[in-house]
A and B are shown apart, each in its own frame.
Chain A
């Protein structure tokens, strides 16, 4: 490929990347990968990368070795793979550190009304003493986790969500066990809204929360699937 063809190709790749960054952000899909606070920054980056593409075809500077090929990798992956959030498979690998994303301090939940608490707020309450909340009404949304490694009885499954602080590289899971007679009817990654009552088991000496569900309703995956503390 001649130098001019390489420059034109590079311009196309840069402009495609700029297009992907702006399109994903405009469509709300960037929220599947990064914290929303960075979205404005991504728009700015897309504009600059587009300008890079515009000036690079007429530049006479030598192209850094392999730069276009390396740049094609994220572009091709972004085009080839439909946008998707982290799901249950990633959570299973971090079961040993589930809820570790909750800080040592106790930030206040948004409200004292437990019906409005999300899984992160329930995890916050669990780090101190969940026992006083036994009998409280709980309504949580999340994706289903069905996995033998959880060691759950047949009438229980886990509902979980990821908490994002920066990007998917630091996403940590929060989850709660759900008691529901027909627990196996839901496949992993199915999003559900669970309504029920909080129970606290302490058979091992450690209080373990469990929502005894009165209803489990399948829902669409939310536009912003990660919880942002």
Chain B
């Protein structure tokens, strides 16, 4: 069999097998929000001010340890239950980093090498980019892929059965985007030579966008990307590695189709544009000022 096809299959299945449990957790959390969170309570608890709502969404991930595969369905569920859209957007963007598991993995990877500075930069910049982006995205969400949950259970149904039905509908809705994204990420990895970014990273101005592009292509789960970033730190400027660790968990080839499915194309395009500009600008400034 053609070695390239074999390589594609191994990488595609690797991404799928690794991501599908997290998507499943996300679908279960999403269904839990849908069934057990009272929209009136939610509306009362979340600030209506767009910036504060986005800030709350950016921080709520501390209580929901989900990576990018799980954060998208959960974010959509928050919005469906009446949370302001900026809350959902910021959660989707920030939760893959602002959650206990990733905070621990980033600390374990970097504190012994760079001190706490790099960890705080990752957390702070992720929150900043997520909040600003969410603040300026459209308030109306078009959700082309959303199944109608209104029919999925009856009042006399056991809660656990209703939960499973909701979760399965959410899961089915998102898994097609995961399959498409995983195939795309695997194809790019197989067909684009792997060493291209090494040449680009020699240039201090190109290093940041090159590492952001690498993060999009590699589509690594945020729970472990800190260790990949640590390895890159040997050859690549710290501000470019920071860009890799901030941008990758927000935007990658497997999450983009999921964003389109959850929020629609218009929101997704603006989301990608804003996060790209903000992350690149911030990391270039941080590098120029020698802050990392």
Contacts and interface: CB of A to CB of B under 8 A. Distances in A.
Interface in B141-166: 145, 147-149, 151-152, 161, 164-165
A66 B176 contact: yes
B132 interface: no
The B interface, classified by DSSP as helix, strand, loop or mixed, is helix
A162 to B, nearest CB: 10
Contacts of A67: 172-173, 175-176
A193 interface: no
A150 B85 CA distance: 53
B13 A74 contact: yes
A69 B18 CA distance: 20
B138 interface: no
A49 B24 contact: yes
A96 B200 CA distance: 13
Contacts of B234: 100, 102-104, 127
B171 A52 contact: yes
A27 interface: no
Contact of A52 (B17, B167, B194): B167
A41 B21 contact: yes
Interface in A5-31: 10, 14, 21, 24, 30
A103 B185 CA distance: 24
A51 interface: yes
Contacts of A127: 234
A85 B173 contact: no
A67 B27 CA distance: 15
B23 to A, nearest CB: 8
Nearest to B254: A169
Interface stretch (B49-57, B205-213, B221-229, B276-284): B221-229
Contact of B198 (A74, A77, A96): A96
Contacts of B265: none
A62 interface: yes
B112 A93 contact: no
A34 B172 CA distance: 23
B224 A170 contact: yes
Contacts of B180: 70
B95 interface: no
A104 B185 CA distance: 26
A103 B12 contact: no
Contacts of A95: 195
Contacts of A133: none
A86 B16 CA distance: 16
A169 B179 contact: no
B151 A168 contact: no
Nearest to B185: A169
B7 A100 contact: no
Contacts of A62: 147-148, 151
A169 B231 contact: no
B233 interface: yes
B219 interface: yes
Contact of A96 (B24, B194, B225, B228): B194
B250 to A, nearest CB: 17
A33 interface: yes
Contact of A34 (B3, B17, B220, B232): B17
Interface string A133-145: 0000000000000
Contacts of A219: none
19 contacts: A21-B20, A33-B13, A35-B224, A55-B165, A55-B168, A63-B147, A64-B176, A71-B179, A81-B6, A84-B10, A86-B10, A89-B4, A89-B6, A89-B7, A90-B190, A100-B231, A100-B232, A104-B233, A168-B11
Interface of B: 3-4, 6-7, 9-18, 20-22, 24, 28, 112-113, 145, 147-149, 151-152, 161, 164-165, 167-169, 171-173, 175-176, 179-180, 182-183, 185-186, 189-190, 193-195, 198, 218-221, 223-225, 227-228, 230-235
Listed from nearest, the 5 A-B pairs whose CB atoms lie closest are A96-B195, A168-B14, A89-B3, A70-B176, A45-B21
